[in-house]
Amino acid sequence: MKRKERKENGFTLAELLIVVAIIAVLAVIAIPVFGSRLENAREETDIANMRSAKAAAVAMYLSGEDLENQTLTSTGTTCYFDAASGMLVADVPVGYGRGTATDGGCEDFYMVVNPSETVAQATYSGTSAVAGKYIKVFMNDTGTIQLVWEG
């Protein structure tokens, strides 16, 4: 009697199920970690935009002129930070805030730079609901610069 030899090509069903189970476990672990990293990146982008807005406002203050090339006065001037160009503009830009409502963000991020104080004051709240908002900048001739998310 001759025995037919069985060819051992391919994988068994059990082997495939084990591989699928391992991939599922890795996905369950990786997706929340990736989501939190993405949220941190969004919040850091918002904070970086605040720093850029502050730098643009300080540069304008040091020039002593507002957007219309008028001398800054005690009544001050209000303008907006355009994140796409990195410049202060007179017109309200399209909202560029990226933050979402999770703990640790920068909702109502409010920064004041005042020469009479030794440091800038900045406040952060527990969540960052600045998605779709833009930064409003106010400054006057005494050196006070206020940055607030609006929109």
Residue 6 lies in a domain: no
Q: Give the pLDDT score at 107.
A: 46
Q: Cα dihedral sign for 32, 38, 43, 48?
A: positive
Range in 8-12, 40-44, 56-60, 115-119 the model is least confident about: 115-119
In sequence order, which residues have a C-beta less than 8 Å from that of residue 63 and are 6 or more positions away? Answer: none
- Under the banding of pLDDT at 50, 70 and 90, the label for residue 120 is low
Residue 82 lies in a domain: yes
The 10s digit of each residue's pLDDT in 61-105 is: 888 888 888 888 888 899 999 999 999 999 999 998 887 665 555
Residue 2 lies in a domain: no
What is the average pLDDT across 4-22? 85
Tell me how far apart the alpha carbons of residues 104 and 64 are, in angstroms, rounded to a whole number.
Answer: 36
Residue 68: count of CB within 10 angstroms of its CB: 7
Q: Give the pLDDT score at 17.
A: 96
Prediction pTM value: 0.70
Looking at the structure of the chain, the number of domains it has is: 1
- Give residue 47's domain range: 13-150
Residue 59 lies in a domain: yes
What is the average pLDDT across 18-32? 92
Residue 3 lies in a domain: no
The 10s digit of each residue's pLDDT in 46-55 is: 888 888 998 8
Residue 22 lies in a domain: yes
Residue 8 lies in a domain: no
Residue 112 lies in a domain: yes
